[in-house]
Amino acid sequence: MRDLEGRVAIISGGSSGIGAALARAFARERVRVALLARREGPLRALAQELAAQGVEVLPIPTDVTQEEAVQAAVDRTVDRWGRLDIVVANAGQYVRKPVTAWTVEDFQRSCAVNFYGALHLVLAALPVLRRQREGHIVLMSSLDAKKGLPLDGPYVAAKYALSGIGGVMRQELRDEGIDVTVVYPGRVDTPMIANLKVPWISPKLPPEKVARAVLKAIRKRKAEVIVPWTGYLLYLDLLAPRLADYLVKKLGLSGEPHPASGPTHPPEAENGTHR
């Protein structure tokens, strides 16, 4: 999909972080954008910012854990513009706990947003893309889905599941003209992980860097995107998992909260995680 001007995109988790950066990047390409997010204030503010630049934008307050709400958002988008070209499942929630403190509810909460929230958007949009025999689905995963890091258990489970279905979808939908890209960003500089201390070798990424990588992937129809490039080192886990474990610990790649900083994420944070 080399020519993006005039296309229609829908982005979940679109009020901040990667979602907002991607909305601005799409706007510069004159893409019409539907923004989905729970927090109505930031959502409206971003929509006004983009509209002031002459961009067609449709803000839709949406809880992605509610399947009917997501379906309604997709229907509104198609009713408004008559088509849908790019679907970005980006909404996320970061649940960070050691294994000794895990509860089933932690995994249910993580999967509700990170996995089922993405699945709701994909399933709602897929009939539209199939009728058109054209489209691009972007699933925002995490480097945690390449190598599960300590303390990230519930988040890792959801992102591994998301990456897994991304590979299945890519193979099954290829002949219908629908591309699927799974994005594996490292930790992204968002309020959600503001209190997380990370090592020098793996600094927090600006959301704009991830957004640029996503646009490039859509144009080049890439199957996967890993950003930053140092994320490719995690493939070592396939060949020598114990060595990879040692390096994660030695380099402090799992991160740690700043002293006396409290939780690493707000209870109902959106659109942050390693994003």
Contact (CB, 8 A) for 192 and 266:
yes
Is residue 266 in a domain? no
Is residue 47 domain-resident? yes
Closest by alpha carbon to 137, among 217, 193, 83? 217
- The residues annotated as belonging to the active site are 155
Cα 33 to Cα 20, 23, 30, 51, 122, distances in angstroms: 11, 7, 9, 10, 16
In a domain, 1, yes or no: no
Amino acid of residue 1? M
Q: Which residues contact 25 (CB under 8 A, 6 or more apart)?
A: 208, 211, 212, 214, 215
Is 100 part of a structural domain of the chain?
yes
Alpha helices in the chain (DSSP H): 17-28, 40-51, 67-81, 104-114, 116-132, 153-173, 207-220, 236-239, 241-251
Domain span holding position 83: 8-257
**Would you say how long the chain is, in residues?**
275
Tell me whether residue 271 is in a domain. Answer: no
What's the token pair of residue 12?
């979940």
- Enter the pTM of the model: 0.87
Q: Within a domain: residue 27?
A: yes
Report how many domains make up the chain: 1
- CATH number of the domain where residue 39 is located: 3.40.50.720
- Asked whether residue 264 is domain-assigned, the answer is no
274 falls within a domain: no
Q: Over its length of 275 residues, how does the chain's per-residue pLDDT go in tens digits?
A: 778 999 999 999 999 999 999 999 999 999 999 999 999 999 999 999 999 999 999 999 999 999 999 999 999 999 999 999 999 999 999 888 999 999 999 999 999 999 999 999 999 999 999 999 999 999 999 988 888 888 899 999 999 999 999 999 999 999 999 999 999 998 776 656 666 666 555 667 899 999 999 999 999 999 999 997 766 666 666 777 777 676 766 565 665 553 333 334 433 344 444 44
Question: Is the separation of the CB atoms in 146 and 237 below 8 Å?
Answer: yes
